[in-house]
Amino acid sequence: MGMSIGKQTGTLAEMNIVPLIDILLVLLIIFMVITPLTPKGLQVLVPQPQHREVAPPERTAIVVQVLADRQAHQAALKINDENVTWEALGSRMDQIFKARAEKVAFVAGGNDVMFMDVARAVDIMRGAGIDKVGLVTAKLETAR
């Protein structure tokens, strides 16, 4: 506390606010340092309303099967039991995933298929704009 002596006949007690301001500045600095360290929370995707005119997309998984064709000495392709050629694979995948929000597909190859053919199928699918390409193994097929 401070005191001021003036022309008045008595003493007047005043509060010294300098230590109070020092405490407030220290608290302000502490809160400024702590604020960036607080957790932000989880990012959540809010479901968007569907338009009534558009039919809901299919929920079946797209599996590209790479089959060994010993007579043609080249691998044959199937998309969910639909025969397709290597040249038409990219355009067919574009047609399938045009209306889908999630661009996820799988590649299944047998033991007698060369890795080069499976890698070629994955490359064509990635070129068609598919974000995630998964591989189906023999262990996964037996679990079905």
Residue boundaries of the structural domains of the chain: 62-143
CA proximity to 103, closest of 55, 61, 56, 54: 61
Q: In angstroms, rounded to a whole number, what is the distance separating the alpha carbons of residues 109 and 65?
A: 6
- Could you give the angle at which helices 115-127 and 89-97 cross, rounded to 10 degrees? 50
pTM: 0.54
Encode the chain (144 residues) as per-residue pLDDT tens digits: 555 555 666 676 777 888 889 999 999 999 888 887 666 666 666 677 766 555 555 557 888 888 887 666 677 888 888 888 888 888 888 888 887 888 888 888 877 888 888 888 889 988 888 888 888 876 655 655
**CATH class of this structure's domain 62-143:** alpha beta
Enter the DSSP assignment of 8.
Answer: S
